Structure 1
């Protein structure tokens, strides 16, 4: 079955199955045509908006079978992350909303409880579905609502490498009176091919299994095992799922699918099968060459991620003790560059962030310097390991947090906005935030040379910022700007790439006769002793960070000033204490007041409110967009 791109997307059958009830009324022989229309629809829309293409193309028939056998929402369908749930969205009444997929105010790229009663879990951190299902089954049993109401958890083989999934399996398999159907969607990969002993075991089962088909890892845990099942045969899956439901006991249904099914560019993309894509030419699967907003914002510059990957590989060429660890994010964190040169020194542990961190601690104990490359939002899952297994032992482990701060269209669970607040509580840990590509390379080298405790580098999503050279260096602080003709009124302390809007705000302040100093601490936490001393020479100190404004750099600087008896007030500008929606990074930063206009307005307002001062110009009204998020 191949996606046809030579004709408009046919809508007749797909439009008729905009709810699960309508789908269940269709004859089985019409489902292949529906599947074809769904794939055409996904390619057309996701290539236009960006999103998760390959995973959803692989789950078309599986999702059709699930919604024909189980009556959502009476039967609970729990999808492990939303990478594989676009088809579910189509079948539950959201076809027209795909025009605004992942756009501000539009359809979420993941499941969203506010969108539909059919969406139970909107968290997009992997390996959680089985635990949700366990809790739902317990709740239904306790409330007497379990009769003829199934609980089904759909989890990929990649997500099954996560430790939380195995904690849930341990409980589910032993719960004979709380039947949960675990559907393992096995396409052999998450972003990259699934690694480890579990992948090898699933391969044995897929190859026929022999005795293993009757007695395997799942049966040993107490499950009845059905599989392997052809995940692209709706009829075969319907039959197996109906049998699984009738047993009223814990069941694993092992479904084999092909990521990117039916779309040749995805099927032949061995790197990640077009897992998460930007806008594409739907005919070729190549990035869309049409000029657009991205070109105007310098999107042709190398990404922060690629700059890191190349810098780490080069550094590994100089230092034989440098190793790297990732949690199933080899290419997304650009560790594949180092792996290509030093394959024995790069370790992909699967979707197992806790194990990644403590394994890195063991590497450090063994005399190596591990670099753990991970998305900022996913490190939250391993906080205890950072605190107790790394920091308590003062081990030299470097964490590189990709997608730190506001990430954009992936939404609440993917914004990396918690790291500064959370990690600031870890004793002995130092955090750096490079403002540009050159500083990323410098700070990575500094971190790798650190031997007395853990270090963190945080980098955002997107093209790396243009280099901003320092005018001077003072006590480890980079002075980026100093007003030559005005008294020092405002000390601006931007974190990482927010140096650019801070500098624009500083120049605007100078035109209004407000003297400014802009300083990049490079290592932003803990606060360097020189920073409160510098703040003491100004009327106001302002921090600018795309992390929570509670508990981050601003809060730490205010505390440091109090301890140093510095009376200068500190104004922390950052993200609100809330879950942010999906939208572009630029728009979300502007709504939080973290663009140059928002920074300028906040400073003018703060100066106006200082007793005994009279700024030269009146303060403008607070923009509505800023008020919304404050």
Structure 2
């Protein structure tokens, strides 16, 4: 491997260094932008931003104008987030970087690849979507993440973490093969860099000697705080007091770092004294040319560094430090709380009636399913010291904050490393403890091989608490958890539970935890029905369904068994009431069955329904129809059931059709799939007719 040689000199003021805007006649620039205290309720005046319809419009701006543009863009994003909600802190943190990239590069000819996509709102504004930003995450509006079908400037669709370097490397190699000299720049956060896929790509980039510019946006904060050896390594690079600068010739130059805003890693590493030499850092050890760390909010410095770095051949990494929520004081103080925000509340008119509804005032709000899981963890851990809990960087989202505080020695946040999280649990389970892996459905997809090979194949005692199952609303198709039943139920030794509400979720978590083997409890995003949790925790009978209701006359000529899975039980109940009150189908009896288990199915109940003379069977699930719970019912009836061969009822599977469901509210997505009450009724009427 070629060794990089460094020269050393003291720091020179940025004003004395060449920049792309050397012709500026303005006073010396500090690179410091404004800080705002409130989210504006009305559209702010942004004259410079309003003139930007494409990256080409940035080319003629001076550095002073680019700094003004950053202020306007930050204020505009504050306003837009207040109107539409969405990802917040990360977008405010990359405004200067986004402007600098589009000022220096020739997009869409040059390729800018964003990792995760939480931080791409500023990119959307500068690439012709400014006036549509208020529609972001709404049905028919802009997507929450970059999407190739939305804009020629969105080079790669993202939503999951740690993909940018692999995608960018693929682009670079394809461009090289075709003889097209275009720049590929990948923007990846320090949280996303903890994903093993990022290091696999970096290793290959060195092997291929690819021309690739990687910009590490280090804000010490993924969705949860960054943790582990990599975070510690970045902190020590900062604490060295030096930086690897870039000379006018594009060669590394070791210098004392200029005064910059304090780099607070929550004082986790402040006691470190033996810091490594920057030339021996992780990136240079792999084979990248490393520059940094630099202030990611200093516009003149960013322009200087990036304009030189993009000309350096081979794999290059530029390390910048940014502040999540930069420019909005509340977000800078609470970056976790402001990772994403909801719309600003509509101001309500004060009620003139002084009388209060005491029942409404004392009503307990419905719990989120993540809160139910968090309560179960704490309750169970107090009873069983074998319980250990693992999450891949989703401590807050999975409801594990209280558990982490009460049982820090039993809590393991492994960063954005889903594959590692699953195999870590497998290893733990071989030693007599009982690990629970808290993971979102969409991210469990990334640990599928490990689930099969390392957990299920060895019949290890691991419980998967699968959050965000089903449609997730505004985050759209990248985050939808609509494939888990299909890829889990085909795995031998797996048990799969689907609770209908908060109380059942609590007890099914306990049931699966107590089972000696590989289990999964699948529950949705958001709040439940308001069901109260009964304690102590119970263990349900595995594979046993529950008949929730029977509506209609026993002697009705048509008898419908409505087999509902998970949160679709409530929808099934509503649909059954409508059907049995409708004169057009008043000759039908409807049994609503809470199936509760996808694997094993309650085949005994299915046989009972068939022998009772059921004429129609419908399955209902918030999951893809292909391979889902309904498919499991079909497989049993067609291949195993002794009663089905003679009774032959009509069957319909109701679920998500064979397409990716676009973003919108959860209610809109359900309606789009025909999974709202009215849509289900229509499909049942079609079956019965």
Distance 1:446 1:18 in 2: 56
Residues of 2 paired with 1:468 and 1:300: CA distance?
10
Which of residues 332, 338, 347 is equivalent to 1:274? 338
* Of 150, 175, 197, the match for 1:164: 197
> Which residue of the other structure, out of 193, 214, 221, is the alignment partner of 1:189?
221
| Equivalent residue for 1:559, pick from 632, 635, 640 | 635
Distance 2:674 2:310 in 1: 52
Distance in 2 separating the partners of 1:157 and 1:397: 29
Residue 475 of structure 1 and its aligned partner are, at CA, apart by 7.7
1:541 equivalent in alignment to 2:541? no
Match of 1:92 among 127, 130, 138: 127
**Is 1:583 aligned to 2:664, yes or no?**
yes
Query: Is the counterpart of residue 476 in structure 1 residue 544 in structure 2?
Result: yes
> Is this contact kept in 2: 1:152–1:180, CA < 8 A?
yes
Query: d(CA) in 2 for partners of 1:208 and 1:50?
Result: 39
CA–CA distance in 2 between the matches of 1:475 and 1:417?
22
Q: Cα 1:474–1:126, aligned 2, differ >3 Å: closer, same or farther? A: closer
Query: Is it true that 1:514 corresponds to 2:588 in the alignment?
Result: yes
Match of 1:285 in 2: none
Question: How many residue pairs align between the two structures?
Answer: 591
Sort the Cα spacing of 1:219 and 1:526 in 2 relative to 1 into closer, same or farther, 3 A: same
Deviates more, 1:55-64 or 1:583-592: 583-592
> What TM-score do you get using the length of structure 1 for normalisation?
0.90
1:458 corresponds to 2:522? yes
CA shift at 1:299, angstroms?
11
Change (3 A) 1:214 1:597: same
- 1:315: how far off? 1.2
- Provide the C-alpha distance between the structure 1 equivalents of 2:282 and 2:532, rounded to a whole number of angstroms: 55
8 Å CA contact 2:114, 2:164 repeated in 1: yes
CA RMSD of aligned residues (A): 2.2
- Matched residue of 1:413: which SS? helix
Change (3 A) 1:8 1:409: closer
Residue ranges of structure 1 left out of the alignment (5+ in a row):
282-287, 609-630
Cα shift readout 1:530-564 (whole Å, capped 9, x = no counterpart): 24213413111111111001101100001111211
Runs of 4+ more than 4 Å apart: 4-8, 288-291, 472-475
Q: d(CA) in 2 for partners of 1:118 and 1:300?
A: 43
Structure number with greater Rg is: 2
State the Cα deviation string for residues 166-205 of structure 1 (Å, max 9, x = none): 10011112332x2101100000010121111110111111
Instruction: Tell me if 1:527 matches 2:604.
Output: no
Contact 2:553 2:588 in 1 (8 A): no
Change (3 A) 1:478 1:13: same
Unaligned runs of 5+ in 2: 1-33, 243-275, 350-359, 534-539
Distance apart, 1:290 and its partner CA: 5.4
Mapped to 2, the partners of 1:22 and 1:444 lie a distance apart of: 55
TM-score (norm 2): 0.83
Pick one of 434, 437, 451 that aligns with 1:372.
Answer: 437
Q: Measure the CA separation in 1 of the matches of 2:364 and 2:95.
A: 33
Native 8 Å contact 2:55 2:126 kept in 1: yes
Partner of 2:163: 128
Provide the C-alpha distance between the structure 1 equivalents of 2:140 and 2:111, rounded to a whole number of angstroms. Answer: 27
Q: 1:225 aligns with which of 283, 286, 290?
A: 290
Query: Aligned residue for 1:202?
Result: 234
Contact 2:543 2:600 in 1 (8 A): no
Q: Give the superposition deviation at 1:38.
A: 1.0
1:473 to partner: Cα distance: 9.8
Q: Could you tell me whether the CA contact under 8 Å between 2:462 and 2:518 is conserved in 1?
A: yes
User: Which residue number in structure 1 is paired with residue 553 of structure 2?
Assistant: 485
Contact 1:161 1:352 in 2 (8 A): yes
- What do the CA deviations read for 1:309-361 (whole angstroms, capped 9, x no partner)? 11221111111111111001100111112111111111000000000000011
| SS of equivalent residue, structure 2 residue 622 | strand
